[in-house]
Amino acid sequence: MTGSFGPGPLPESADVVVIGGGVVGCAIARELSRFDVSAVLIERSPDVATGTSKANSGILHAGFDAEPGTWKARLNVRGSRLYAELAEGLGIPRKATGSLVVAKDTAEMETVAELRHRGIDNGVAGLEIWNRDQVVAHEPNISSDIAGALWAPTGAIVCPFLATVGFAENAIRNGVRIVIECAVTGIDVADRQIVGVRTTRGRVATRFVVNAAGLHSDEVARLAGDDSFTIKPRRGEYILFDRSVGQLVNTVLFPTPDKVSKGILVSPTVHGNVFIGPDAVDIDDPEDRETTAGGLAGIIAGARRIVPALPLGTAITEFAGLRAAAGKDFVIGPSPAARGLVHAAGIQSPGLTSAPAIGEVIVEMLQDVGLRLRAKASFVPVNPEKPRFHELDREAQARLVARDPLFGRVICRCETVTEAEIVAAIRSPCGARTVDGVKRRVRAGAGRCQGGFCGPRVTAILARELDVPITAVRKDSIKSWLFLSRADLEAGEGIHA
Amino acid sequence: MREFSYDVVTIGGGPAGMAAALAAREAGAKRVLILERDRELGGILQQCIHNGFGLRRFEEELTGPGYAHRYIDMVKATDIDVWLDTTVLAAEPGGVITSVSPQAGLTVVRAKSVVYAMGCRERTRGAIRTPGSRPAGVFTAGAAQRMVNMEGYLPGKEVVIVGSGDIGLIMARRMTFEGAKVKAVFEIMPYSNGLTRNIVQCLEDFGIPLYLGHSVTAIHGKDRVTGITVSEVNDKLEVIEGTAFDVACDCVLLSVGLIPENELGRAAGIAVDPITSGARVDQFRETSIPGFFAAGNVLHVHDLVDWVSEEAAIAGRSAARHARGELAPSGRERSVMAGEGLRTVVPQRLTDFEPGKMSVRFYFRAAKPMGASLLQFWADDALAFERKLRVVKPSEMIVADIPVRKIGDAATLEFRVVPAPEKVAAEDEIEEEA
C-alpha cells in the first residue's frame, strides 16, 4: 500500500485500523509500517497531535515515578531509550537536559530517596541524590529554601507535536494511510470477532483494530461492546514564557510528587522557551480545554515554590491539556469483549515518553491475537532532514536561499521562520492543513506575537498551497474557520467554508 | 554573501524609517539605505485606511496610506536606496547588518550609522492572561485590520473588542461599516486607552457601548468563539464577585497595548528602558551603542504619526552627523527622570548640546488621567520650568520644549505632573490637544 495523508478516501479493507492520530497512534502506525501489512490510521481532526499530544509538558521522563511492574514503569524506561535512538532520524527535536526532583525538607528528601530506589528497580541509570549546593550550582534561579534533589541524567525534553508528526510521516513514507477528518461511528463485531470499522467516510473491513483514541478511547471500546474501562479526563493548565527568559532554568524541575500528580513543574522547552504547569483537575467533558483564572493562579503559586522569580511579564500564551486517565496504569492489551481489538488507552503521563515502546508492545499483541506480520526490506527508518533556517550558520543560510529563494522571505519574525519552511511543512507527507498545524510543525506563530504579524500571511500561504479560498482555511479543528468574505456577511451567512 | 557599504541605514521603511532616511540625506549623508520587510514602504500606515493623520505634519487630514505616500514620494525623489522584501537578521555593533531577501539572498551591509525603525507589535491575549478556551475568532485588532483593509476578509460578524486602544476603537467603527455588529468594548482600566477623538468618532457616533473597569474573565467556544464572560473590577483591578455576565459573539478583537519591536536592539546589547521597552536614548536619539539610533514606535509607542516623523528626523540628522564623524562622544551624560504623575520620558538622558541649541523637546506619557495640571521640570531639586496642561490622559503624549538655559548644568533632571492650583487652571490659556 502507498502511504498517504488527507481527508480520505478510506480503503474498503485493511489488515489493521489504528483509531487515533495522537503520539501513541502514530507511534503504533510507524511500528506497523516495518511490516508488509496494510495499515490505516483514522483521525477525526484535520491533523495529528490535536488532543492530549498537543498540550502536555513535552518531557521524556527518566522513569523513576511508576511502581515497578506496571506498564508505566516498563514502557517509560524503554520509550526514553527509544527516543534517544530515534529522535534525530525522525526529525524530532530532543534535548538531554536531565531532570531534578526538588525536595524542600527532610520528609521530602526521604521521598526523593524512595524515588531513587524505585528508579533503580525500574532500570533507570545514573540517579543521584544531590545536596542543596549541587542543585543551586546547576540551577541558580531555584528557590533558596530547598534541601536537595534527585538528579536524573536521562530525563530529557522533546517537542510533542514533532514527535507525533515524525512518527506519522515515517509511517506514511513506509506505506501507512492516514485518513483525517474521519470519525469512527461504529465497530462491527461478528461472533465476538472484529470485522470492520464504520466512519464518517465510509466503512473499512478489517479484523484488527488498535484503540488509540485517547480521551475518547472508552467510547471507542464501547462501540465494540467493551466497557472494561472508563476515561476520566484530567485537565492541566500551563503558562508558556518567551524565549528571552529561556535561561531561567537549565533542566526540568519537578517538586516532590504527591499522590495525584507529579506536581507543578518549571521546565525549558526544546525550542528555548520556559513553561510552568500543569495542575490536575478532574473534569467531565473530554473537550473542555478552558484555562481558568484560579487554575493559572494556582500554577503560578506552585511554580514559585521552585523558582520564586517567575518572569510573568514575558508570558506569551496559556493553555490547558487533558490527560486521558483510566486508573493508575495504562490500559494496554487485547479487549476482553472483542477479538482483534487491542487497546492502547488510558495513556496519561508518562505516555509521550512511552509512545514508541507502546508501539512495540501493541505490535507484539496484534501478532499474539493472530495478525501475521512479515518484516519488509523496503522499510526506511528515517525521514529526510528539514532545514530550519534560524538554526543554521550564515553560510548554510546563504546556500539555502541560493537553492530556494523562499528561504529568503521571513514570514514569522519572532521565530525567524521562512516561507520555504512553511511551504515544506504543508507539502510534506504528513503536511499541515491548518494554521495551528503550521505552527506546530515550524513554529510560525508560536513566538511572542502569537501570530499577530504572520497569521494573515500563513493563512494566505495555506490557501495558496491547499488551493482553497481564504474562507476555507481553518485554525485547528474541522469547523474552526478563520475568516468570512464580505459577500458572506452581506448574505447573512456565518463563518463557514 | 554580497557586501555593501552605506553611510546611514534605517531598519524599517515605515513612517520612522522613511523620515529618518530623508533627514539623513538632507543632512548630507551620501549613501542612505532603507531596509523594509514588506513588499512596499509605509509600514503599518498602509492598513490604516481611516483619516486623521498628518494634521500637525502636513496641516491637512490624510488617511494612513495618504500620509505614507507623501513620504514615499519624497523618498522616491531622492537617491535613497530601498530594499523591499528584506528582513534584517542581525545588526551588530560596528554597523554590520545581515539581511536576507528572496531576490538578493543573504547580504551584509556595513553602515556608518544605523537607525532602528522597526515599529511595534500588539500585546497578545497570552500577555494579559485571559483565561478560557482557544478557538478561532480571537485576533489582535491590528491583525484583523490587515485582513479587512488589505486582504478583504472579515474576522467575524458579531464582534466584541477587548481593550480600548486606538486600533480597537478604529476597528469597532470599521467592522460596523463592514456590516458586522460590534456589541461592546471592554476596558479593564477606569479610563480609556484611546484618543478622545476616537472614542467619540468610533464608538459614540455608532452607539457602541464602552464598559470601563470591566475585565474579560473567560473566552468560550471550541471551534469558533461563542462568547465571553465579563466581570467588573475594583480599583485594584480585581474581579468583583457576583458581577459576571456573558456576551455572545463569534469574534474577539484585542486592543490591549503595543510593545516596541526591539528584538534587534536587545540582541545587539543596547540599553533598554524597562518602562518603554525601547532604547534609552539621548537627545540625538542615539542608543547606548555609538552610531546606533532609534526612532518611532520601536523607541516608544506614539499616539500620532506626526510625532514619529518629527522624532525620526532628529535620529536621521544625528545619524548623518555620526557618519561624518561630527557627533563626538559626549564627555558628560545626565539621566532624565520621569517623576510624579509620569510613566515615561524620552529622551531618557542628555549629552552635550550642539552649539547654538536653544531648546530640547521631550515626550512624556502620564501615569494616570488628571484634570488641569502642571508639567514641572526640576533641575537639581529646584523648580526650573512649569507649563500648564488643561487635561492629562495616559493615551495622549505630552510634548514639551525645555529651553537649554533652564537645563543649565544641573546634574539631576526630573519631570513631574502635579495637579494645578484651581485659580491657575481657571485663568490659563488652553493647551492645544495632541
Measure CA of the first residue to CA of the last residue in chain A; give whole Å: 32
Q: Tell me, what's the pLDDT at B433? A: 36
Residues of A within 8 A of B107 (CB-CB) are: none
pLDDT at A238: 98
At residue B354 the predicted structure's pLDDT band, cuts being 50, 70 and 90, is confident
Q: Domain spans of chain B?
A: 2-121+259-328, 124-256, 338-427
Measure B47 CA to nearest chain A CA, in Å.
13
A99-153+232-322 maps to which CATH number?
A: 3.30.9.10
Query: Would the pLDDT of B332 be above 90?
Result: no
- Mark the ranges of chain A whose per-residue pLDDT is less than 50: 497
Cβ-contact A206, A184 below 8 angstroms: no
Return all residues near B54 (Cβ < 8 A) that are at least 6 apart.
B60, B61, B62, B66, B67, B70, B305, B306
What's the rounded Cα separation, in Å, for the pair A91 and A441?
A: 11
Q: Does A301 touch chain B (CB under 8 A)?
A: no
Among A15, A14, A25, smallest CA distance to A344 is for A25
The pLDDT value given to residue A270: 97
Q: H helices of A338-418, where?
A: 351-368, 394-403
CATH topology of domain B124-256: FAD/NAD(P)-binding domain (3.50.50)
**What percent of chain B is modeled with pLDDT above 70?**
97
pLDDT reading at B173 higher than 70: yes
| CB within 8 Å: A316 and B127 | yes
Chain A from 268 to 297: CB within 8 A of any B CB: 287-293, 295-296
pLDDT tens, residue by residue, B251-266: 999 999 999 999 999 9
Q: Which cell is B225 given? A: 468563539
pLDDT of residue B328: 76
Question: Residue B422 above 80 pLDDT?
Answer: no
Residue A319 in grid coordinates: 493553555
Annotated catalytic residue within A61, A216, A271, A343: A61
Report helix, strand or coil for B140. strand
Residue B434 has pLDDT above 50, yes or no: no
pLDDT at B263: 95
Residue in A319, A397, A495 closest to B224 by CB: A495
Q: Give the pLDDT score at B432.
A: 40
Does B2-121+259-328 match B338-427 in CATH topology?
Answer: no
Q: What is the pLDDT of residue B152?
A: 94
Provide the 3-class DSSP secondary structure of residue B213. Answer: coil
Q: What is the pLDDT of residues B57-78, one digit of tens each?
A: 999 999 999 999 999 999 999 9
- For helices B64-76 and B305-323, give the axis angle rounded to 10 degrees: 20
* CATH, range B338-427: 2.60.40
First-to-last CA distance in chain B? 47
pLDDT band at B430 (very low <50, low <70, confident <90, very high): very low
Q: Could you tell me if B3 lies within 8 Å of chain A, comparing CB atoms?
A: no
A219, three cell numbers = 467510547
Look up A61 and say whether it is catalytic.
yes
Is there a contact between B131 and A290 if contact means CB atoms under 8 Å apart?
Answer: yes
Asked if residue A53 lies in contact with residue A158, where contact means CB atoms within 8 angstroms, the answer is no
In chain B, how many H helices and how many E strands?
Answer: 10, 28
Pick the CATH number of A1-94+158-230+326-385 from 3.50.50.60, 2.60.120.10, 3.20.20.390, 3.40.50.670: 3.50.50.60
What's the average model confidence in pLDDT over B82-101? 96
pLDDT greater than 50 at residue B431: no
pLDDT at B424 over 70: no
Arithmetic mean of pLDDT over chain B: 94
B29-46: average pLDDT: 97
| CA distance linking residue A167 with residue A159, whole number of Å | 12
> Residue B330 above 80 pLDDT?
no
Place B122 in a pLDDT band, splitting at 50, 70 and 90.
very high
Q: Sort strands A484-485 and B2-11 into parallel, antiparallel or unpaired.
A: unpaired
ipTM (interface pTM) = 0.94
A residues 105..134 contacting B (CB < 8 A) = none
pLDDT (0 to 100) of residue B331: 74
Q: What is the pLDDT of residue A487?
A: 84
Q: Report the predicted TM-score, pTM, of the whole model to 2 decimal places.
A: 0.95
Q: What is the average per-residue pLDDT within B227-231?
A: 98
- Residue A357: strand, helix, or coil: helix
Which CATH fold would you assign to the domain B2-121+259-328? FAD/NAD(P)-binding domain (3.50.50)
Spatial separation of the C-alpha atoms in residues B233 and B228, rounded to whole Å: 16
Alpha-carbon span A39 to A175, nearest angstrom: 8
- Joined together, the cell numbers standing for residue A63 give 522513569
Q: Which of residues 210-269 of A touch B (CB under 8 A)?
A: 239-240, 244
